[in-house]
Structure 1
Amino acid sequence: MGIESGIVTSPPSGLPSRDPTKSYWLRDPNPTLLGHRGTPDLPAEADVVVVGSGITGAFAARFLVEGSWSENLSVVMLEAREVCWGATGRNGGHCQPLVYAATPTVAAFELEVYDFMERLVRDEAINCDWVSLTGVHAFLSKDIFDSAAAAAEQLAQSHPELAANLQVIRRDDPSSTEEKQQRTLASLRIPTAHGAIIQQKAASLWPYKLVASILERLVAAHPPPRFNLQTNTPATSLARADDGSGRWTLTTPRGTITARQVLLATNGYTSHLLPAFADLIVPMRGQVASLLPPLGPSPPQGGETAPVLKHSYVFAADPEPAPESAAAAPRDDYLIQRPLPTGELIYGGGRRLARALGVGEWRDDIVEEDVARYLRRNLCPPLDLSTPPTDGGNDGHQPEEENLELDATHEWTGIMGYSRDRHAWVGAVPEALGGGDGLFICAGYTGHGMPAAALSAKAVVGQMRRAWRSWKGGEEEERDAETDQEMPEIPAEFILSEERVVRARGMPHVTGGWEATVFAELVGA
């Protein structure tokens, strides 16, 4: 059975919306990058074109431009809108490896990416509000907690070095009294949870500022033709050049550009340029809100204060039918807090209330009111924001008003790329999928790109460099061999191959989000 035997039933994605919703993270755009075009006109050609300026595109450009493998390489970046105006600028502000619900190789890779990001932000003094935290995964259903705890226990047996990053909090731990466990859950502000898993490595950050910092530095240090950023220049089509050169031509409203290599860092929009990927990377719309926290009791010095959260959160529960729908989807909501004094709560999820669970939706100019209402009303409970926890925990008190509705400063949507087999696609695109020599992708993170994209981008740049060296006849082989050793090894699950495509097309089509493929897997749904 060949790769072309797969039947694509999903329609290709459209282009990014011209007037998207207003993300909290994009409220203060970088003035250097806003509307930036390295040259007034689009160049007719380049050595490499990177399509997309989110976290993948930014890191790929950094590794391309700052690498030593070709000092004269010209790199053009095309962005359909403004810099980082897609999923990276619209996410929940988390960077958290998923250790217990990922394959061990993927879990180890995500931990490596997390450490890389944490060091980068520190060593290069990147001002992106990075705060290292612990991640609390609160399970609001017993079955899914039992399954998650069993997965953590199995990991402890097979890969203790990975399980060392986890702590399972049980309500009914036989080694402790129920009262003590209730206090432990209450001290995490989740007194009604059936249990929790604490992940030792998690962070909150301002993702747009991270990407903007990387690209601003590239723009300043490497002027065209070395690096040429072209915003508001959507790539509308991609095809082999008709001159027999083996190069690729990208068409835009501002003209065409031809390159020896093209990297698609387009995530949920990949199938617009590669329709054969329509069933492999499916656009998925997520929704997020920035909520003003309720003010707590007056402190002794007077005045009111917002609660301070010391963790990032994920709230998970068993699948349940959405209102007026036969579809069932697990609950998977996520939360971080911005610094005081405002302390906005960045809360995302509620996708079971979204149209078609958000599957196949590529427009981010829409806020669904049912989801928005859910996000405003369903943060507390389950999260206890009523009283500050103490070392011994609080009394598990929830606010008297069950349907407390918080005020939203921003409500927005973003488009992610969900992979049919749940893993990112990194590498050269086969001819049977519309690719061939010189075309690469790094996309399809299934809503979990922050702890995977940076080193996935570095790995695909390594593949591009090796292909370039082969094309150039092995020049500078000794120096390149040294560079090879610096390239990360991505999980086998991420590698793009014809065999993987065949396997993926033997799996069900994408019908739900990351939570439907991860948490539902845990409970056998």
Structure 2
Amino acid sequence: MGHTLSKLRLAVKELTRLTQLYDDIYKRLLASPGIPDASKPTTKSFWTVPASPISTHISKELPEHADIVIIGSGITGASVVYNILEYVPSGSLTIVMLEAREACSGATARNGGHINPPLWHDYADLKGVYGEKEAKTIIKFRLAHLREMMDVAVSENIVDHCQIREVETVDVYFDDARFGTAEEAFKVWQMDMSADTDTFYAADKESAIKVCYCILEGKYRVMDSGYSASLQNFGLADEVSGAIIGAAGAVHPYRFVTSILSNLLKRHPDHFFLSTHTPCTGIHSSPRGYTVVTPLGTITTPHVVHATNAWVSHLVTSLRTKVVPIRGNMTAQRPGQALSRSTLDGYRAHIFYRDQGYDYLTQLPDGEHELMFGGGFAQQNKNGLSEVADLDDGSLNWGITNHLGGALPHYFGPSNWGAEAQPSNSSERDVADWPSGRMKSFWTGILGISVDGRPWVGRLPPIMTRRHPPVPLPGKSPLTSAPSEWIAAGYSGEGMPHAWMSGKGLAYMVLGVEKETGLYEWFPESFIVSDKRRRKANVEDVLDRFRK
């Protein structure tokens, strides 16, 4: 009896703790995320060392008026400004980009560098909710990112610097039931989108698969050549249940974005202005235009683009509990001395599924071939609840970082990992005083989670901004659409296969050239912003996923 009462007390105590935790989360979600504070120290992202020459760029004098003001200098903001300036005649529009901290210092510079879109993972769910046509449009939209970003990198002559490349990707499952579920989802996707699935296949632990690797133009490709090899040839731990293998991409996200912004500043010195350490502290509207308030003064404009992702609900308050900030955790690690066969020195990426959640891994193709490893959200953090609405990227979650610091040798197995690597100081990144052990750097970044699972892209209705848009000037043939506030945000931790093309689509919307560019032939209709969608989106849907 006493033992039963003790268990009952423990259950009541845990229920009380969870109730308090959810109450605290709701309070945080209803509060403003505020503005990233440049005066507070942040964890050092490995990507940002060494810093870009434009990291603290401030234009000598901001214009009093701009055709477009973009808030945020990450991959979304960079895509919007790049695609606008590529489309319009040179010198025809003036664009100001505001950044609260250093250039590209938010989530873009704090992610894993994967261009590895969800494909079969949620295809069946998308098909069930939005229909087969829209589901296919979303998948094709995600797949388009690697080729589009590679084309931009070629055009901007930054391929080597930003290390953008095709990689083989391996989704690794350590649970038979979870692998079985993934196989079924993969078959549904494969059946419906066969033209996009020819480089993907599933392999269980015991089956023989036909696979070999060849280096073509410096990239590893999976080839069906009749060579028989077991799944163990991927250099994984013996506990693996199965894997799904395919093609993806990887990039140095910080270099990609800062290189593009740097090139634009050089090409458009009188029409593109970047001002770091210049937060937008307020937006006011009148019939004559929006007034954007900054510590350096005000700027009038007919167009304001919100490219701040997790922070967007500070200025667009109606999106509180709709785009939810969640803190993610990342590491940079030296690989074990025997790991080259498993990771192909930066040309094979991994996603590991074990227990709840997942972890993700890319590897740099140069220097010490650092492993860029993140995740741990559900595995070591009581379903990640403490990270919800935590906007502090100046501290770490100890439970998650402990998991990330120890998981990789277990995922690959001791023999595939080998002895610990010794520091080599072999690249420009080693100007920093990194620790000499396996772990070079831990850091955090703030993600923007869309509670309905889709990015929010397009014109913001006045009912959502609570600001009336300016009145278009009569008799003028503008190079842009009717005045408005605009948004591209809420990528739910999948920014690399969503943000660039969302920014491109938004650029065409701001310019009012949707028809001329065939935008809606490739842009998902379900991503478009509406107040009806906002009212329907329910934060409980996200919290329910954490409870499971």
Per the normalisation by structure 2, the TM-score is: 0.77
**Cα deviation code 1:262-297 (max 9, x no counterpart):** 100110110111111011111111011111122349
Per the alignment, do residues 465 and 67 of structure 1 end up closer, same or farther by CA in structure 2, a change over 3 Å counting?
Answer: same
Find 1:62's aligned residue among 74, 79, 82: 82
Find 2:192's aligned residue among 152, 155, 158: 158
Aligned equivalents of 1:255 and 1:8: distance in 2?
31
Q: How does 1:2-17 map to 2 (within 5 A)?
A: 10-17=30-37
Q: Secondary structure at the match of 1:193?
A: coil
**Cα deviation code 1:210-244 (max 9, x no counterpart):** 001110111001013x1111111011222324xx3
**Cα deviation code 1:63-83 (max 9, x no counterpart):** 122322684211000011111
Equivalent pair of 2:457/2:502 in contact (CA under 8 Å)? yes
Gapped regions of structure 2 (runs ≥ 5): 1-26, 124-135, 211-226, 421-435, 470-483
**Cα deviation code 1:335-388 (max 9, x no counterpart):** 111234511111101113346242111221112222222111111101236338
Q: Secondary structure at the match of 2:122?
A: coil
Aligned equivalents of 1:105 and 1:489: distance in 2?
6
Aligned equivalents of 2:511 and 2:31: distance in 1?
33
Aligned equivalents of 2:279 and 2:110: distance in 1?
19
- 1:140 to partner: Cα distance: 1.6
1:44 matched to which residue of 2?
Answer: 64
Per the alignment, do residues 487 and 457 of structure 1 end up closer, same or farther by CA in structure 2, a change over 3 Å counting?
Answer: farther
In the alignment, does 2:399 pair up with 1:370?
yes
Per the alignment, do residues 86 and 184 of structure 1 end up closer, same or farther by CA in structure 2, a change over 3 Å counting?
Answer: same
Letter in 2 for 1:442: A
Per the alignment, do residues 9 and 486 of structure 1 end up closer, same or farther by CA in structure 2, a change over 3 Å counting?
Answer: closer
Q: Secondary structure at the match of 1:102?
A: helix
Find 1:76's aligned residue among 88, 91, 96: 96
Per the alignment, do residues 309 and 115 of structure 1 end up closer, same or farther by CA in structure 2, a change over 3 Å counting?
Answer: closer
Aligned equivalents of 1:429 and 1:297: distance in 2?
48
Equivalent pair of 2:137/2:522 in contact (CA under 8 Å)? no
Aligned equivalents of 1:67 and 1:99: distance in 2?
30
Find 1:26's aligned residue among 28, 44, 48: 48
Find 2:181's aligned residue among 127, 147, 163: 147
Per the alignment, do residues 340 and 229 of structure 1 end up closer, same or farther by CA in structure 2, a change over 3 Å counting?
Answer: closer
- 1:488 to partner: Cα distance: 6.6
Equivalent pair of 1:281/1:417 in contact (CA under 8 Å)? yes
In the alignment, does 2:317 pair up with 1:275?
yes
Find 1:384's aligned residue among 401, 413, 416: 413
1:265 matched to which residue of 2?
Answer: 307
Counting matched residue pairs gives 457
Letter in 2 for 1:82: E
2:23 matched to which residue of 1?
Answer: none
Letter in 1 for 2:251: L
Per the alignment, do residues 218 and 510 of structure 1 end up closer, same or farther by CA in structure 2, a change over 3 Å counting?
Answer: same
Aligned equivalents of 1:503 and 1:306: distance in 2?
43
Per the alignment, do residues 76 and 174 of structure 1 end up closer, same or farther by CA in structure 2, a change over 3 Å counting?
Answer: closer
Equivalent pair of 1:285/1:414 in contact (CA under 8 Å)? yes
* Aligned residues: CA RMSD: 3.1
2:528 matched to which residue of 1?
Answer: 495
**Cα deviation code 1:284-330 (max 9, x no counterpart):** 110111111223499xxxxxx99846410111134xxxxxxxxxxx2
1:193 matched to which residue of 2?
Answer: 240
- 1:174 to partner: Cα distance: 9.7
Equivalent pair of 2:488/2:506 in contact (CA under 8 Å)? yes
Gapped regions of structure 1 (runs ≥ 5): 1-6, 299-304, 319-329, 389-397, 467-479
Find 1:221's aligned residue among 254, 261, 267: 267
Equivalent pair of 1:99/1:163 in contact (CA under 8 Å)? no
1:286 matched to which residue of 2?
Answer: 328
Aligned equivalents of 1:12 and 1:386: distance in 2?
49
- 1:157 to partner: Cα distance: 2.1
- 1:29 to partner: Cα distance: 1.4
- 1:424 to partner: Cα distance: 0.6
In the alignment, does 2:142 pair up with 1:110?
yes
Aligned equivalents of 2:244 and 2:30: distance in 1?
36
Letter in 1 for 2:202: V
Equivalent pair of 2:345/2:364 in contact (CA under 8 Å)? no
Q: How does 1:250-329 map to 2 (within 5 A)?
A: 250-296=292-338, 308=345, 310-318=347-355
Aligned equivalents of 2:201 and 2:447: distance in 1?
29
1:358 matched to which residue of 2?
Answer: 387
Aligned equivalents of 1:335 and 1:424: distance in 2?
24
Find 2:110's aligned residue among 76, 90, 103: 90
Aligned equivalents of 2:233 and 2:542: distance in 1?
37
Aligned equivalents of 1:123 and 1:53: distance in 2?
20
**Cα deviation code 1:11-34 (max 9, x no counterpart):** 221211422110001111121x13
- 1:165 to partner: Cα distance: 4.1
Q: Single out whichever of 125-134 and 419-428 deviates more from structure 2.
A: 125-134
Letter in 2 for 1:451: P
1:420 matched to which residue of 2?
Answer: 451
Aligned equivalents of 1:283 and 1:115: distance in 2?
29
Per the alignment, do residues 165 and 428 of structure 1 end up closer, same or farther by CA in structure 2, a change over 3 Å counting?
Answer: farther
Aligned equivalents of 1:24 and 1:432: distance in 2?
41
2:128 matched to which residue of 1?
Answer: none
**Cα deviation code 1:377-419 (max 9, x no counterpart):** 111101236338xxxxxxxxx989xxxx962111110111000
